[in-house]
Amino acid sequence: MYSDQNVVQTIFKDLIFTKDEIKTIASVFKRVDAEKGAILIKPGDIVTDIFFIYQGCLRTFYTNKKGREHTVQIGIEDWWITDFTAFFSTSKAIMHLEVLQNATLYQLSSEDREALHIQFPQIHKFIRNKLEAAYAAFQKRILSKLSMTAKERYLEFIKTHPHIEKNVKNYHIASYLGITTESLSRIRKELT
């Protein structure tokens, strides 16, 4: 079901590798089967790994001093997820990484990621392109919070991520949008 070739081809879509290269690449990924509710990263952890979501749904969230959760990222199949601030700065985690649906993940350490970049320049370019797109999406999201109404943000969310809404609870979506669950319910009622 999860052959090395299928996993590598799923992770690195459109890249072509020899059988030996696939074995080398697959050898640095660790398969993780995570159950709903599992916390893979918590504040204070040293973050040395990034996760590719093969199946399932996860989120990263920050809890403020008042105990309110702020969902930073919701990830589904074919996405990379971690506490990126901690991962790239080698600092301690400031967020939780929570499994929202049972998931099959492929874990890649920072050290192995760097080795892949050196050995396979096409992987380096592929990952760089993914990160650039993610950075642009984060920036767009910040701008939407500054300039759009809650209703406009919700409409943009369901347009951009139509499959996520069916997979997560209302308070996760509300937290991601920076609104209350009551506001989300009101917006949905207005739209029906």
Does 62 reside within a domain? yes
Indicate whether 126 belongs to any domain. Answer: no
Residue 86 has pLDDT above 80, yes or no: yes
What angle (nearest 5°) sits at the alpha carbon of residue 103, between those of residues 97 and 108? 65
Note whether residue 169 is domain-resident.
no
Binning pLDDT at 50, 70 and 90, where does residue 71 land?
A: very high
Residue 107 belongs to some domain of the structure: yes
Question: If you average pLDDT over residues 130-146, what whole number do you get?
Answer: 87
As a whole number of angstroms, the distance between CA 152 and CA 140 comes to 13
Q: For the segment 87-101, what is each residue's pLDDT rounded down to a tens digit?
A: 999 889 999 999 999
CB 42 within 8 A of CB 65: no
Q: Supply 25's token pair.
A: 């690449």
Distance CA 96, CA 59 (A): 8
Which of 169, 34, 31, 45 lies closest to 107 in space, CA to CA? 31
Q: Which domain holds residue 74?
A: 4-116
Res 17 pLDDT > 60: yes
Structure tokens, 97? 């990484």
Give 15: exposed, middle or buried? Use CB within 10 Å, 0-12, 13-18, 19+.
middle
In this predicted structure, what is the pLDDT of residue 2? 62
> What is the predicted pLDDT for the residue at 137?
86
Would 83 be classed as within a structural domain?
yes
Quote the CA–CA distance of 180 and 50 in Å, as a whole number.
Answer: 30
Predicted pLDDT at 42 = 97
Q: Report CA-CA distances (Å) from 93 to 24, 40, 45, 96.
A: 30, 11, 5, 8
In a domain, residue 88? The reply is yes
Contact 81, 97 (CB under 8 A): yes
Which of 4-8, 103-107, 175-179 has the largest mean confidence?
Answer: 103-107
* Each residue's pLDDT tens digit, 22-32: 999 999 999 99
Helix (H) or strand (E) holding 100: strand 96-109
Contact 89, 95 (CB under 8 A): no
Across residues 108-114, what is the average pLDDT? 96
Q: Is residue 63, in this structure, part of any structural domain at all? A: yes
- Residue 99 included in any domain: yes
Q: Which residues, at least 6 apart from 190, have a Cβ–Cβ distance to it below 8 Å? A: 151
Q: What is the CATH number of the domain that holds 31?
A: 2.60.120.10
Q: How many domains does the chain have?
A: 1
